[in-house]
Amino acid sequence: MKAAELFHKYPLTDNTWDEMYNEESVRLHYQNVYETLSNIPADELIKKEELAKSLFMSQGITFTVYSSGEGIEKIFPFDIIPRIITGSEWSFIEKGIKQRLLALNLFLKDVYHQQFILKDGIVPVDLIYSCPHYLREMQGVNVPHDIYIHIAGIDLIRDNDGTFYVLEDNLRTPSGVSYMIENREITKRIFPDLLPQNHVRPVTQYPNILYKNLMALSHRQVSSPNVVMLTPGIFNSAYFEHTTLARLMGIELVEGRDLVVENQKVYMKTTAGLQQVDVIYRRVDDEFLDPLVFNPDSVLGVSGVLSAYRKGNVAIVNAVGNGVADDKAIYVYVPEMIRYYLNEEPILKNVPTYQLGKADERDHVLKNISKMVVKKTNGSGGYGMLMGHAATDQEINDYKQEILKDPRQFIAQPVISLSNAPCYVNGKVQPRRIDLRPFALYGPDGIEIVPGGLTRVALKEGSLVVNSSQGGGSKDTWVLAE
Amino acid sequence: MLSRVADSLYWMSRYMERTDSILRILKINYASSQDSPDDFSWRPVLQVFGNLDDDAISNVGENSRAVLLYMVLDKDNSNSIFNMATQARENARGVQDNITVEMWKCLNGFYHVVRDDRLIYALQHGDPITVLDSLIKECMLYFGITDITMFRGEGLCFMNVGKYIERAIQSAEILDIKLNSLSYDLDKPTDTAYWKYLLMSISGYSLYLKKYQSGFEARNIIDQVLFDVNFPRSVLYSLHHLDLYFERLRDDKNAEGFSKVHFSIGKLKSKVQYSNVQSVSNVGLHDYLTEITTEIDEIGSTLNQYYFAYS
């Protein structure tokens, strides 16, 4: 059986954008890949899938799940069929993200300084002060080059007519970029020659751009600033990503216990004594960063690092306190921010969002809850969500009780049908829901977005949740040259 | 270099050296158990490398396959190959940005090999020598890859310091295990096949034949394993190289630490350099070997105190 037959049974889903098919015909930008796959014997595809798995395993691109004292290595599931984005789609996305990021960054600077946007009544004051990620400690603190969001992973989805929507803004410590890089390496191995045939734009430059930006943040006038990456350690599920980025940038990967603060300066403990640190690219959340200021039980952080930061003796990436800008209740106001700060119309659309803190919107949502997705404003990873169309009456009632306890903590969105892309699942090509997370880098020279990103896939049939913690996987993401 | 990184590199290297050494010990002992089952006992190996009590040793001690399963795969034995390969890989995992990708892939591969069901099956039903040889090959791969790819710098120095510390200890211990079974009586007649296997397992057989041109004499074996500077597994060779690589870590910023460790290495090296089989026999072989391992352990603690302390 040739793979061509696999595609014959590909079921199109009603009222859903399919990345490969336009009605019954294959979209132009997928044709080359479609033909290549169609000419491969079906059992060869199984071999390719196995090769991909063994490559991830042998390179240690795994995360460890610890159970009963023993570590089991797991692979983040990878689908072998690439997701393809055309050059014109990409330039639209690129423009939209740059615009959005610029406004969000201005918003953070404003909120932590003069607060014009609050005084002008564009964003309600109580929404800021009730946000657990708004940090008073950052009020009035100047950060290098006024950049707060050095790395953003803004999640995009496509509605049934193919329109891109922003699902959420990840402005704290977005992860997944190592899979953008490694998935591409795997594609090179399982489909030789396919990348150059399709004129796929490369993604390898990401670490170099990030490194250049990190170097530029150093406050000291030294020829080679000491840039480090702070990881929670080898037990973290994203540890592979931390070590990959550190290696690709040639910077030291440190843990909290490697650092010490003395006289409001940060040092790392080396075999030749203490050595000053200038820039910290941290993958530790705000609340664990400094036990003296935030969670006192944190052993992942560094005591006193915030005082060194406030003093300007060390740069922290991303800035501390960014959570106030990617809070799901603030999300509603991003289009307004773009108009307010940039005097432009937003390029990328927001998903219509109801704030349950507002009485009339809450009533509307509670009445129509079966058509809604309800989320916590500070939740992530697909946890604590209610998918109205799939929940039982009991679940809905319990969730309603939760909402009424503190409505500010919830937002609701109509169920958006994510777009479908062909995936190779259980020996068959089947449609699965996907999203897209491009990684934007904001440095003193401006915003750069490497053409590509992380395409997450909901591998469970019919599922709309792409998070890796909920059975999601990923795909290599191609952006074609014009 | 970060203290934590130096610490991990040092231990990664020690674990791999120990893994290699224990695999070789298992191989000679297994071969020996097939030759002369009446004289042979696994007891010394289990006493030194296992954590079983006397009764448990008596239970498994007669059964070579049970011993091999315990020494290779048992998760409760901290010196099992399974655990040491895991430790080496976990140390490497924490310092991937300080070793080469090739080394990481090699250690990660070894980690998956010891977890493969085929290994358990082969150890239970197949030829143990084939299994041990395949594991030894993993170690050789690691040593070769390290030599060819690892950048020459502080990291490699700490790795070599760890490697030669471990090797000196292991060579002393391999010898001690055998001498123990002779009750340290060098004139006691013994099965020479064992000495042959011992030398073969540490690649010292051809050197021995060329150098001593005689049958297997306990004194000659001791001379080679302890004092031969041209034999890469001798204690003296290991101490010379320990000294050599540590010397490269000289740094004014840690002058105190350097001089302390340097002093202990130099002292121990002189002690071994200016001993011979005769003088050692006078002191008592067991005591002498114990003194060596104790002093090496002290070098390790001083290193820990001045170079690796970070938490």
Q: In this predicted model, what pLDDT tens digit does every residue of B167-199 receive, in sequence order? A: 999 999 888 888 887 778 888 777 677 788 788
Q: What is the pLDDT of residue A379?
A: 65
Q: Which two tokens stand for residue A461?
A: 């049939």
Crossing angle for the helix pair B101-113 and B81-93, to the nearest 10 degrees:
150
- What is the predicted pLDDT for the residue at A381? 58
Which residues are A374's β-sheet partners? A386, A412
Instruction: Give the pLDDT confidence score for residue B135 in this predicted structure.
Output: 97
Residue type, A448: E
CA-nearest residue of chain B to A245?
B97
* Measured distance CA(A48)–CA(A40) in Å, rounded: 10
- Residue B99: pLDDT band with limits 50, 70, 90: very high
Angle (nearest 5°) at CA B257 between B253 and B258: 80
Binary contact (B4, A257; C-beta < 8 A): yes
Assess if residue B124 is contained within a domain: yes
Whether the predicted pLDDT of B271 surpasses 90? yes
DSSP state of A84: E
Q: Are residues B108 and B203 in the same domain?
A: no
Tell if the CB–CB gap between B105 and A254 is shorter than 8 Å.
no
From B91, which residue of chain A is nearest by alpha-carbon distance? A234
Q: How is residue A202 annotated by DSSP?
A: P
Residue A182: how many other CB atoms lie within 10 Å: 21
Q: Specify the pairing of strand A410-414 against strand A428-434.
A: unpaired
CA distance B308 to B305: 6
3-state secondary structure at position A263: coil
Are both B117 and B83 inside the same structural domain? Answer: yes
What's the rounded mean pLDDT across residues A261-267? 96
Nearest CA in chain B to A247: B97
Put simply, the answer to whether B2 touches A239 (Cβ < 8 Å) is no
Same domain assignment for residues B146 and B180: no
Residue A151 token pair? 């790395």
Q: Residue B33 has what pLDDT?
A: 86
Q: Are residues B285 and B258 in the same domain?
A: yes
Q: CB A273 to CB B4 under 8 A? A: no
Quick: pLDDT tens for A357-366.
888 888 888 8
Are the beta carbons of A269 and B310 separated by less than 8 Å? yes
pLDDT of A14 > 90? The answer is: no
Q: What percent of chain A has a predicted confidence (pLDDT) above 70?
A: 98
CA-based nearest residue to A228, from B97, B150, B90: B97
Contact A247 B94 (CB under 8 A): no
Last-in-domain residue among B151, B182, B201? B151
Contact A270 B2 (CB under 8 A): yes
In a domain, B70, yes or no: yes
Within a domain: B158? no
Q: State whether B123 and B204 are in the same domain.
A: no
For residue A412, what are its two tokens? Answer: 């609701």
- pLDDT tens digits, residue range A55-96? 999 888 887 777 666 778 888 899 999 999 999 999 999 999
Separation between Cα atoms, residue A367 and residue A364, nearest integer Å: 5
* pLDDT tens-digit readout, A358-394: 888 888 888 888 888 888 877 665 667 888 877 888 8
Range name among A453-462, B45-54, B107-116, B154-163 with the lowest pLDDT average: B45-54
Q: Give yes or no: residues B63 and B177 share one domain.
A: no
Nearest to A404 by CA among A371, A369, A436, A449: A369
- pLDDT score at A276: 96
If one compares B237 and A4, the residue with the highest pLDDT of the two is B237
Q: Which residues of B touch A252 (CB under 8 A)?
A: 2, 5, 97
- The whole-number average pLDDT for the span A111-137 is 94
Chain B residues in contact with A233 by the CB 8 A cut-off are 94
Residue B105: which of A59, A73, A253 has the nearest Cβ?
A59
Same domain (yes/no): B201, B98: no
Q: Is the ipTM of this complex over 0.90?
A: no
Q: How far apart are CA B120 and CA B122, in angstroms?
A: 5
- Strand (E) or helix (H) holding A7: helix A3-8
How many helices (H) and strands (E) in chain A?
17, 26
Query: A444 vs B54, which has greater pLDDT?
Result: A444
The reply to whether B202 falls in a domain is yes
- Tens digits of per-residue pLDDT, A267-314? 999 998 899 999 999 999 999 999 999 988 888 999 999 999 999 999
Sheet containing A155-158, strands listed edge to edge, beginning at the edge strand earlier in sequence: A155-158, A164-168, A349-350
Residue A342 tokens read as 């940039």
**pLDDT in the model for residue B310:** 65
The residues, ordered by sequence, that sit 6+ positions from B180 with a Cβ below 8 Å of its Cβ are B44, B286
Handedness of CA A230, A233, A239, A245 (dihedral sign): positive
**Inter-chain contact B1–A271, Cβ cutoff 8 Å?**
yes
A246 to chain B, closest Cα gap in Å: 6
The more confidently predicted of residues B214 and A110 is A110
Burial class of residue A159 (count of CB atoms within 10 Å of its CB; 0-12, 13-18, 19+):
middle
**Do A433 and A461 form a contact (C-beta atoms < 8 A)?**
no
- d(Cα A433, Cα A450) in Å, to the nearest integer? 23
Using an 8 Å CB-CB cutoff, list chain A residues near B308: 271
Contact A16, A160 (CB under 8 A): yes
Q: Burial, B260: exposed, middle or buried (Cβ in 10 Å; 0-12, 13-18, 19+)? A: middle
Helix, strand, coil share of chain B (percent; to 5): 75, 0, 25
CA distance linking residue B65 with residue B30, whole number of Å: 9
C-alpha dihedral, B273 to B276 to B279 to B283, nearest 10°: 70
Q: What is the mean pLDDT of residues B88-104?
A: 95
Does residue B140 fall inside a structural domain?
A: yes
Using an 8 Å CB-CB cutoff, list residues of chain A that contact chain B. 57-60, 70-71, 73, 233-234, 239, 243-244, 246-247, 250-255, 257-258, 268-273
Distance CA B195, CA B7 (A): 36
Closest CA–CA distance from residue B253 to any residue of chain A (Å): 5
Chain B residues touching residue A254 (CB < 8 angstroms): 2, 4
Q: Are residues B134 and B29 in the same domain?
A: yes
8 Å CB contact between B235 and B289: no
- Could you give the 3-state DSSP secondary structure of residue B199? helix
**Highest mean predicted confidence (pLDDT) among A153-157, A352-356, B35-39:** A153-157
Lowest-confidence region among B25-29, B160-164, B255-259: B25-29
Percent with pLDDT over 70 in chain B: 99
- pLDDT at residue B172, as a whole number: 92
Chain A to chain B Cβ contacts (< 8 Å):
74
Q: Cβ distance A181 to A203 under 8 Å?
A: yes
* Boundary of a domain, candidates B97, B126, B151: B151
All structural domains of chain A: 3-88+183-193+433-479 (no CATH), 352-414 (3.30.1490.270)
B120 and B199: one domain? no
User: What value does the mean pLDDT take over residues A314-334?
Assistant: 94
CA distance A255 to chain B (A): 9
Residue in B86, B94, B254 nearest the CB of A271: B254
What integer is the mean pLDDT of A177-195? 95
Whether residue A405 has pLDDT greater than 80: yes
Residues B262 and B238 in one domain: yes
Q: How far apart are CA A109 and CA A316, in angstroms?
A: 15
Count of domains observed in chain B: 2
Helix or strand run (H / E) with residue A475 = strand A472-479
- Residue B87: predicted pLDDT: 96
One DSSP character per residue, A311-323 reads TTSSEEESPTTTH
B47 CB-near residues (< 8 Å, 6+ apart): B57
- Statement to judge: residues B60 and B22 lie in one domain: yes
Largest Cα–Cα distance of chain A, in whole Å?
A: 70
pLDDT band at A30 (very low <50, low <70, confident <90, very high): very high
Binary contact (A247, B96; C-beta < 8 A): yes
- Given A70, A246, A270, which is nearest B97 (Cβ)? A246
What value does the CA radius of gyration of chain A take, rounded to a whole number of Å? 23
SS3 category, B176: helix
In chain A, residues with a C-beta closer than 8 Å to the C-beta of B96 are: 60, 243-244, 246-247, 253
Q: Strands A349-350 and A164-168: what pairing?
A: parallel
- Asked whether residue B156 is domain-assigned, the answer is no
Give the closest of A58, A234, A272 to B90, CB-based.
A234
Is it the case that residue A1 has pLDDT exceeding 60?
A: no
- Report how far residue A304's alpha carbon sits from residue A290's, in angstroms, rounded to the nearest whole number: 6
From the CA of A72, how many Å to the nearest CA of chain B? 10
Residue ending a domain, choose from B117, B151, B185: B151
Calculate the alpha carbon distances from A290 to A170, A214, A253, B14, B51 in Å: 21, 21, 18, 35, 42
Cβ distance of A257 and B6 shorter than 8 Å: no
Interface test with B, best of A240, A271, A276, A277 (most B CBs within 10 A): A271
In a domain, residue B27? The reply is: yes
In our burial notation (b when 16+ CB lie closer than 10 A, e otherwise), range B215-227 reads ebbbebbbbbbbb
B111 and B211 both lie in a single domain: no
Mean per-residue pLDDT of chain A: 91
Contact across the interface for A258 and B4, Cβ inside 8 Å: yes
Nearest CA in chain A to B304: A271
> Cα separation of A210 and A194, whole Å?
28
- Structure tokens belonging to residue B82: 């399974």
Beta strand pairing call for A279-282 and A315-317:
parallel
First CA to last CA distance, chain B: 15
Asked if the Cβ–Cβ distance from B251 to A271 is below 8 Å, we say yes
Closest by Cα among B167, B179, B168, B171 to B287: B179
For chain B, the residues whose C-beta falls within 8 A of a C-beta of chain A are: 1-6, 75, 86, 90, 93-97, 101, 104-105, 108-109, 112, 154, 158, 249, 251, 253-254, 307-311
Query: Domain residues for B202?
Result: 163-311
Closest-CA distance, A223 to chain B, in angstroms, reads 19
Neighboring chain A residues of B254 at a CB cutoff of 8 Å: 271-273
